[in-house]
Each structure stands twice: as C-alpha cells, then as structure tokens.
C-alpha cells in the first residue's frame, strides 16, 4: 500500500470514528426512548422492580466499563 493510500484510509477511519462519536457519544437518549438514568446504590431497587415488572417482555441489562 502506498503512503498516499495509507493516509486516505487513516483519514476515512478517523472521520468515521468522529461521526460515530457524535451519534453515540452523547448522554441523551434518542427521541421516543425513555431518558437515560444514572445507576447508583440508590437507584438499584427501582431498577430491580422495573426489571421484575416486565416479565412478559425481553429484558436485557448491559454494563459497560471504560477500562
């Protein structure tokens, strides 16, 4: 791969990452979805009751860590 082609590929990857960061890097939920909540020790009981109340629906808990 030539040097010029390498730079073009790098530029495309960086531009793509920037666009994904704009769309998914926010702290706001998309329109039509419930607002995002901060999960801490005080909100665990609310999460548990909401989770258990939705027994007839698909339920999924995903935990993400930046490390």
Tokens representing 21 are: 């960061």
Domain-by-domain residue ranges, the chain?
Answer: 3-53
For 20-49, how does the pLDDT look when each residue is reduced to its tens digit (9 = 90+)? 666 666 677 778 888 877 788 888 898 889
Residue with the two structure tokens 């860590």: 65
Q: Are 18 and 10 in contact (CB under 8 A)?
A: no
Tokens representing 63 are: 């935990």
Residue with the two structure tokens 């258990």: 52
Predicted TM-score (pTM) of this structure: 0.43
Please give the mean pLDDT across all residues of the chain.
81
Q: What is the pLDDT of residue 18?
A: 75
Q: Rounded to an integer, what distance in angstroms lies between the CA atom of residue 16 and that of residue 39?
A: 30
Tokens representing 43 are: 């909100």
């Amino acid at each position: 791969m030539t040097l010029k082609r390498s730079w073009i590929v790098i530029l495309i990857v960086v531009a793509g990452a920037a666009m994904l960061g704009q769309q998914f890097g926010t702290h706001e939920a998309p329109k039509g979805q419930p607002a995002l909540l901060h999960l801490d020790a005080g909100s665990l009981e609310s999460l548990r009751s909401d989770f258990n109340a939705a027994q007839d629906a698909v339920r999924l808990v995903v935990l993400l860590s930046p490390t």
